Amino acid sequence: MANALYDGGREGILDGTISMPSGTIKALLATAGYTPNTATHRNVSDVTTGNIVARSSAFTSKTETGGVFDAADITFPAVTGSVAPYIILYADTGTDSTSRLVGIIDTATGLPVTPNGGDISVTWDNGANKIFKL
Protein backbone atom coordinates (compact mmCIF):
# COMPACT_ATOMS: atom_id res chain seq x y z
CA MET A 1 0.00 0.00 0.00
CA ALA A 2 1.10 3.60 -0.36
CA ASN A 3 0.21 6.69 1.63
CA ALA A 4 -3.49 7.36 1.07
CA LEU A 5 -6.62 9.09 2.27
CA TYR A 6 -9.57 7.03 3.44
CA ASP A 7 -12.69 7.48 1.29
CA GLY A 8 -14.73 8.28 4.40
CA GLY A 9 -12.16 10.88 5.44
CA ARG A 10 -12.27 12.57 2.04
CA GLU A 11 -16.04 12.52 2.19
CA GLY A 12 -16.02 14.08 5.67
CA ILE A 13 -13.62 16.83 4.62
CA LEU A 14 -15.75 17.65 1.56
CA ASP A 15 -19.13 17.55 3.32
CA GLY A 16 -17.84 19.51 6.32
CA THR A 17 -18.28 16.83 9.00
CA ILE A 18 -14.47 16.85 9.42
CA SER A 19 -12.80 20.21 9.90
CA MET A 20 -9.06 19.76 9.57
CA PRO A 21 -8.19 23.29 10.80
CA SER A 22 -10.62 23.49 13.73
CA GLY A 23 -11.39 19.85 14.60
CA THR A 24 -9.47 17.57 16.94
CA ILE A 25 -7.07 15.80 14.61
CA LYS A 26 -4.81 13.09 16.05
CA ALA A 27 -2.62 10.24 14.87
CA LEU A 28 -2.16 6.68 15.99
CA LEU A 29 0.49 4.05 15.38
CA ALA A 30 -0.88 0.73 14.14
CA THR A 31 0.66 -2.74 13.96
CA ALA A 32 1.09 -4.92 10.89
CA GLY A 33 -1.91 -6.87 12.20
CA TYR A 34 -4.09 -4.10 10.80
CA THR A 35 -5.00 -4.65 7.15
CA PRO A 36 -5.84 -1.22 5.74
CA ASN A 37 -8.87 -0.81 3.52
CA THR A 38 -9.20 2.84 2.55
CA ALA A 39 -12.47 2.16 0.70
CA THR A 40 -14.41 0.54 3.55
CA HIS A 41 -12.74 1.48 6.85
CA ARG A 42 -14.40 4.61 8.22
CA ASN A 43 -13.68 4.83 11.95
CA VAL A 44 -10.91 4.11 14.44
CA SER A 45 -12.91 1.08 15.61
CA ASP A 46 -12.13 -0.49 12.20
CA VAL A 47 -8.44 -0.55 13.21
CA THR A 48 -9.34 -2.50 16.39
CA THR A 49 -7.80 -1.87 19.78
CA GLY A 50 -5.31 -4.75 19.56
CA ASN A 51 -3.67 -3.12 16.55
CA ILE A 52 -3.27 0.33 18.10
CA VAL A 53 0.20 0.83 19.59
CA ALA A 54 -0.05 4.50 20.63
CA ARG A 55 -2.09 7.66 20.10
CA SER A 56 -0.87 11.22 19.79
CA SER A 57 -2.29 14.30 21.43
CA ALA A 58 -4.27 16.71 19.26
CA PHE A 59 -2.38 18.34 16.41
CA THR A 60 -1.43 21.99 16.85
CA SER A 61 -0.56 24.81 14.44
CA LYS A 62 -2.80 23.28 11.78
CA THR A 63 -3.05 24.93 8.38
CA GLU A 64 -4.80 24.21 5.11
CA THR A 65 -3.70 26.17 2.09
CA GLY A 66 -4.43 25.27 -1.52
CA GLY A 67 -5.77 21.86 -0.50
CA VAL A 68 -2.61 21.07 1.50
CA PHE A 69 -2.87 20.11 5.19
CA ASP A 70 -0.01 20.71 7.62
CA ALA A 71 0.51 20.81 11.38
CA ALA A 72 3.27 20.96 13.96
CA ASP A 73 5.38 17.82 14.31
CA ILE A 74 4.10 15.34 16.90
CA THR A 75 5.52 13.04 19.56
CA PHE A 76 4.13 9.76 20.85
CA PRO A 77 5.47 9.63 24.44
CA ALA A 78 7.03 6.53 26.05
CA VAL A 79 5.86 4.02 23.44
CA THR A 80 5.98 0.28 24.09
CA GLY A 81 4.44 -2.57 22.14
CA SER A 82 4.58 -4.06 18.67
CA VAL A 83 6.35 -2.76 15.58
CA ALA A 84 4.22 -0.11 13.89
CA PRO A 85 4.36 0.23 10.09
CA TYR A 86 1.41 2.67 9.95
CA ILE A 87 0.68 6.21 11.07
CA ILE A 88 -3.06 6.81 10.81
CA LEU A 89 -4.61 10.28 10.97
CA TYR A 90 -8.10 10.61 12.39
CA ALA A 91 -10.69 13.17 13.50
CA ASP A 92 -11.17 12.40 17.21
CA THR A 93 -14.65 12.57 18.74
CA GLY A 94 -13.62 10.82 21.95
CA THR A 95 -15.23 7.56 20.81
CA ASP A 96 -13.49 5.13 18.43
CA SER A 97 -16.74 4.12 16.71
CA THR A 98 -17.38 7.73 15.60
CA SER A 99 -13.79 8.99 15.19
CA ARG A 100 -13.36 9.18 11.40
CA LEU A 101 -10.22 7.86 9.74
CA VAL A 102 -8.64 10.50 7.50
CA GLY A 103 -5.37 9.14 6.09
CA ILE A 104 -2.74 6.46 6.43
CA ILE A 105 1.03 6.79 6.05
CA ASP A 106 3.14 3.70 5.53
CA THR A 107 5.84 5.08 3.27
CA ALA A 108 8.04 7.50 5.19
CA THR A 109 11.51 7.69 6.66
CA GLY A 110 11.56 5.76 9.95
CA LEU A 111 8.67 3.42 9.17
CA PRO A 112 8.16 0.83 10.38
CA VAL A 113 9.07 1.99 13.86
CA THR A 114 10.03 -0.35 16.70
CA PRO A 115 8.94 0.98 20.11
CA ASN A 116 11.53 0.74 22.89
CA GLY A 117 9.81 2.61 25.72
CA GLY A 118 11.10 5.97 24.53
CA ASP A 119 9.37 8.80 22.70
CA ILE A 120 8.64 8.46 18.99
CA SER A 121 8.83 11.77 17.15
CA VAL A 122 7.13 12.33 13.81
CA THR A 123 8.47 15.13 11.63
CA TRP A 124 6.01 15.93 8.87
CA ASP A 125 7.26 16.47 5.33
CA ASN A 126 8.11 20.10 4.59
CA GLY A 127 7.78 19.58 0.82
CA ALA A 128 4.94 20.89 -1.32
CA ASN A 129 2.38 18.30 -0.14
CA LYS A 130 3.17 18.55 3.63
CA ILE A 131 1.11 15.94 5.54
CA PHE A 132 -1.29 15.45 2.63
CA LYS A 133 -2.82 17.19 -0.34
CA LEU A 134 -6.38 16.71 -1.53
112: cis peptide before it, omega within 30°? yes
pLDDT at residue 1 in the model: 66
Q: How confident is the model at residue 2 (pLDDT cuts 50, 70, 90)?
A: confident
**Percentage of residues of the chain with pLDDT beyond 90:** 96
Q: Which amino acid is at 103?
A: G
Q: Which amino acid is at 128?
A: A
Average pLDDT of the residues in 7-30: 97
Q: What is the pLDDT of residues 47-105, one digit of tens each?
A: 998 999 999 999 999 999 999 999 999 999 999 999 999 999 999 999 999 999 999 99
Query: Which residues, at least 6 apart from 75, have a Cβ–Cβ distance to it below 8 Å?
Result: 56, 119, 120, 121, 122
